[in-house]
Amino acid sequence: MPNAYISGTGFHVPEDIVTNQDLVTRYGIDTTDEWIVKRTGIEARRFAPEGVGTADLAVPAVQMALERAGISNADIGMIIFATLSPDHCFPGSGVYLQHKLGLTDEGVGNFAGCLDVRNQCSGFLYGLATATSMVQSGSVDNIVLVGAEVHSAALDLSTRGRNVASLFGDGAGAVIVSATEEDRGIRSWHLGADGRHADALSQKVFDISKRPFIPLNEEGVGQVAPDYMFAHMAGRLVFKHAVERMIGALMKEFQKQSLTVDDVDLFFFHQANLRINQYVAKNLGLPDEKLFHNIERYGNTTAATIPIMLAEAQGQGRLERGMKIVTVAFGSGFTWGAAIIDW
């Protein structure tokens, strides 16, 4: 059975930098830089321009990952796309990405399968577990795994929505999960979920149990109330469960691999809230030099946070061959996951 390892990493973020002060001056939100930084650690985020969809944002991230992996479009055996902000309700963004990458062009004809993952902030790790299993089965040699989000189009950028709107940004990260006979790669993973709290962090922009699923006015135009149009979050409950579940997932992985935190070179925590990550790190006794974070520059890019960090860390020379790393995430659902990787 082959091992599955990450052969390439890539990322892409929009050019438009939206600082906390920009939320005040550009969008008229009643907030302050001090208030946001104190509670979240976020100083800025990136917003994509109108006309740019989630699959568009993923293309340069994948191209960078392919280049670093030293493979071409013809070598792609599968696309797994994790996002909570797909280009459309359906089809999934994976097929749009396939076409935009040129896989379906005449003369290429790579009609690799496309799978979309809807596990929000944990989506990349659910995708990583899936890609690892596929590669280890021997069915495919190279899988493009993407986490990408265009949150800015669906944020309530007003004072009414400031508690959520200040958290999220746009971005895309990608990795290539490849087969190898070398003694390296994704060693183990753990996934979990607790549907009792599904409504605590949700965006019910339409309700498929209703007839019709979006209310219509007299002209037949759909109208959605703000409470359903935009994301809702029970902040304190999310914070509490994020800390508990992230620590629990890490402990399961350490026990499975007979490791301690001292055996790990770098930790990549999902970038939802710097205060959550600091609390987890304190409870685990982790030194600052073993943590990689970028939330202060990008905010929460949901499924994209971990692959963006991996790509940045590799580009900066902090992530090197032979290192043992841990990734962990928690998000809507509630869902969570962790993975241990020998780089």
Query: pLDDT digit string (tens) for 64-105?
Result: 999 999 999 999 999 999 999 999 999 999 999 999 999 999
Q: Name 142's Cβ contacts closer than 8 Å, sequence gap at least 6.
A: 7, 69, 71, 75, 76, 77, 78, 176, 177, 178, 179
Q: Assess contact for 248 and 255: CB atoms under 8 A.
A: no
Domain ranges across the chain: 3-183, 186-199+230-342
List C-alpha distances in Å: 40 to 20, 190, 239, 271. Answer: 11, 26, 11, 10
Percent of the chain with pLDDT over 90: 93
Of 157, 170, 167, whose CA–CA distance to 28 is shortest?
Answer: 157
Global pTM?
0.96
Mind listing the pLDDT tens digit for each residue in 196-244?
999 999 999 888 999 999 999 999 999 988 888 899 899 899 999 999 9
φ, ψ dihedrals at 132, nearest 5°: -60, -45
Q: CATH code for 3-183?
A: 3.40.47.10
Distance between CA atoms of residues 220 and 71, nearest Å: 50
CATH superfamily of domain region 186-199+230-342 = Thiolase/Chalcone synthase (3.40.47.10)
Helix axes 54-69 and 93-100, enclosed angle (nearest 10): 60
Can 3-183 and 186-199+230-342 be said to share one CATH topology?
A: yes
Q: Tell me the pLDDT band of 41, cut-offs 50, 70 and 90.
A: very high
Among 40-49, 161-170, 220-229, 310-319, the range scoring the smallest mean pLDDT is: 220-229
Q: Assess contact for 202 and 76: CB atoms under 8 A.
A: no
Catalytic residues: 121, 270, 300
Count Cβ atoms below 10 Å from residue 195 Cβ, excluding itself.
9
pLDDT at 20: 98
